[in-house]
């Protein structure tokens, strides 16, 4: 119970170990994506999402939702005051780990997203050096180890159930993040990235909501009646002669 005593997300990048390094790396990873997203409304869930640099994004109407007076919207994450299919893109950074019902949160985001809309999820990967902090008691009640880590594979399974296509899944920062300041890339980090690229401590998943058309049921075709041919006279005669014998 100690490791889950604090279950609320970070409100500033500085609350995370090596927070500025995490922010910079996430911004670099998402930089090629922003020019490809179009629409009218983008929703930033959490302060960390709102604080990301989104150079090249053509969506002018960006709204932020987090627990602070500076947010554009203050509401429960699972009860958004937004109409159905009204948002073109949602950015969510390090929130699934600290929500009591992450799948319900994803369902709520699915409700407000338009068909073809983008869902960008940034989270911590437990299958990485980051998991070391879960094993050390002095870190279990601190960010980010006080949260519940979900593997990227599980997150993608949830998205698949909701009808999303994963556009990209990248793992970055092959480091345990136990130090407050990220050191320069060391040899073991470079080797780990080369040998096990999926073991990055932070995952960045970009998914797109599929537009599934209604497929009409095909009408049942009437069964074709077999065309029985009458037996030939000669064949009947041969059969009769055999019976007589």
The answer to whether 82 touches 112, Cβ cutoff 8 Å, is: yes
For the domain covering 2-213, report its CATH number: 3.40.50.150
Domain spans, the chain: 2-213
SS3 string, 1-26, reads: CHHHCCCCCCCCHHHCCCHHHHHHHH
d(CA 47, CA 29): 18
Q: How far is CA 221 from CA 15, 185, 216, in A?
A: 65, 67, 15
What's the confidence (pLDDT) of residue 230?
Answer: 56
CA–chain centroid gap for 94, Å, is: 12
d(CA 122, CA 126): 13
The strands making up 41-45's β-sheet, listed across from edge to edge, are 61-65, 41-45, 87-93, 113-124, 202-209, 164-172
DSSP string, 187-211: HHHHHHHHH-GGG-SEEEEEEEE--
Supply the pTM of this predicted model: 0.82
DSSP string, 78-117: TS-S--TT-EEEEEEES-GGG-S-HHHHHHHHHHHEEEEE
Render each residue's pLDDT in the chain as its tens digit; 245 residues.
Answer: 334 444 689 999 999 999 999 999 999 999 999 999 999 999 999 999 999 999 999 999 999 999 889 999 999 999 999 999 999 999 999 999 999 999 999 999 999 999 999 999 999 999 999 999 999 999 999 999 999 999 999 999 999 999 999 999 999 999 899 877 766 666 667 776 778 889 999 999 999 999 864 455 555 555 555 555 555 555 444 444 444 44
The answer to whether 217 touches 125, Cβ cutoff 8 Å, is: no
Instruction: Count how many residues are written for the chain.
Output: 245
What's the confidence (pLDDT) of residue 228?
Answer: 53
């Amino acid at each position: 119970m100690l490791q889950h005593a604090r279950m609320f997300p970070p409100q500033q990048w500085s609350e995370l170990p090596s927070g500025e390094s995490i922010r910079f790396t996430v911004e670099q990873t998402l930089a090629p994506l922003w020019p490809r997203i179009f629409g009218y409304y983008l929703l930033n869930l959490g302060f960390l999402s709102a604080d990301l640099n989104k150079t090249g994004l053509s969506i002018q109407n960006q709204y932020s939702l987090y627990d602070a007076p500076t947010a554009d919207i203050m509401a429960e994450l699972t009860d958004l005051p937004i109409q159905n299919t009204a948002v073109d893109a949602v950015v969510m950074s390090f929130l699934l780990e600290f929500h009591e019902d992450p799948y319900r949160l994803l369902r709520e985001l699915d409700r407000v997203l338009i068909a073809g809309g983008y869902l960008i999820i940034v989270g911590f990967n437990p299958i990485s050096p980051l998991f070391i902090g879960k094993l050390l008691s002095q870190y279990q009640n601190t960010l980010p180890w006080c949260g519940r880590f979900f593997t990227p594979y599980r997150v993608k399974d949830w998205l698949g159930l909701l009808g999303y296509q994963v556009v990209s899944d990248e793992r970055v920062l092959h480091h345990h993040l136990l130090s407050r300041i990220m050191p320069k890339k060391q040899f073991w980090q470079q080797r780990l990235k080369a040998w096990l690229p999926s073991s990055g401590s932070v995952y960045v998943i970009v998914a797109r909501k599929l537009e599934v058309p209604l497929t009409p049921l095909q009408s049942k075709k009437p069964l074709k009646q077999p065309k029985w041919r009458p037996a030939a006279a000669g064949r009947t005669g041969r059969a009769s002669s055999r019976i007589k014998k």
